[in-house]
């Protein structure tokens, strides 16, 4: 067994990879190793009967999701609103030549509008209004508009698994809960229980870094938890 602790873990796999088709992207080693090291009939017995709930979004939602930005109500500086497309296009090019970001030529309710910027607050738009005013666009004004904001990207992918310190294990849930409640207020880290292969385990902390987990393990041992050990737990 390469990962002996896996056999005790929930296999709630959150995979931070994209696998568009077989053989194109290698499956991360830990996942494949996990699958290889487990008896597949056992996995089928454990997970084979679960129901998967899926959400099929509407076409509109999918379209919005595929945009590189999100839509939100905010403010833009509107330079011109005219019925004549040619005029609007000329003004659009003039504003572009100023070197400002986010210049838009939009058509709404039969009017061609040249708008600048994406501002969540009116005050932020005012600076752009001043700049355009001094550049010669004296009729520009601040208008409420649907603005484009960059999508927030999570800074770190959710890990596949955590490190935790196992301090106790029992076949009986009651015993495990009692230990959990007993030490939940005494330790500096969250104490939680997890059922793994017919055993109820009391675990301390959820650490993404092994080194951090080892430091905590050392501290626990100094506190008298000589039997505690480091384990890996699939995210649940």
Residue 67 beta carbon to other proteins: minimum distance, rounded to whole angstroms: 16
Separation between Cα atoms, residue 71 and residue 67, nearest integer Å: 9
CB of 7 to other proteins, least distance (A): 14
Nearer residue to other proteins within complex by CB, 59 or 174: 59
| Separation between Cα atoms, residue 167 and residue 226, nearest integer Å | 9
CB of 47: closest distance to other proteins in angstroms? Answer: 5
Does residue 22 belong to the site contacting other proteins (CB under 8 A)? yes
Least CB distance to other proteins at residue 30 (A): 12
What whole-number distance in Å separates Cα of residue 233 and Cα of residue 6?
Answer: 7
Backbone angles phi, psi at 211, to 5 degrees: -60, -40
Residue 72 sits in the site that holds other proteins (CB under 8 A): no
Residues 209-228 that bind other proteins (CB under 8 A): none
CB 194 within 8 A of CB 176: no
**DSSP letter string, 69-101:** EEEEEEEEEEEEEES-HHHHHHHHHHHHTTT-S
User: In the set 44, 85, 98, 149, which binds other proteins (CB under 8 A)?
Assistant: 44
Of 14-22, 66-74, 164-172, 185-193: span binding other proteins (CB under 8 A): 14-22
CB of 35 to other proteins, least distance (A): 4
> In this structure, are residues 133 and 140 in contact, taking their beta carbons and an 8 Å threshold?
yes
Is 110 near other proteins (CB under 8 A)?
no
């Amino acid at each position: 067994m390469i990962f002996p602790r896996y056999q005790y873990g929930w296999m709630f796999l959150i995979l931070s990879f994209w696998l568009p088709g077989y053989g194109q992207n290698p499956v991360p080693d830990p996942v494949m190793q996990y699958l290889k090291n487990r008896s597949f009939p056992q996995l089928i017995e454990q997970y084979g009967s679960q129901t998967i709930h899926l959400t099929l979004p509407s076409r509109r939602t999918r379209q919005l999701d595929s945009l590189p930005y999100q839509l939100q109500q905010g403010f833009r500086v509107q330079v011109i609103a005219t019925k004549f497309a040619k005029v609007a296009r000329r003004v659009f090019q003039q504003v572009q030549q100023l070197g400002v970001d986010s210049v838009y030529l939009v058509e709404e309710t039969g009017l061609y509008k040249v708008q600048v910027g994406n501002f969540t607050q009116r005050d932020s738009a005012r600076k752009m209004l001043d700049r355009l005013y001094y550049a010669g666009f004296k009729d520009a004004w601040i208008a409420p508009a649907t603005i484009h904001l960059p999508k927030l990207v999570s800074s770190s992918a959710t890990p596949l698994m955590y490190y935790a310190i196992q301090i106790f294990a029992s076949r009986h849930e009651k015993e495990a809960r009692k230990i959990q409640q007993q030490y939940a207020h005494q330790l500096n880290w969250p104490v939680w229980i997890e059922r793994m292969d017919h055993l109820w385990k009391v675990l301390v902390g959820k650490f993404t870094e092994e080194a951090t987990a080892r430091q905590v393990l050392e501290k626990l041992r100094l506190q008298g938890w000589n039997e505690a050990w480091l384990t890996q737990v699939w995210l649940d």
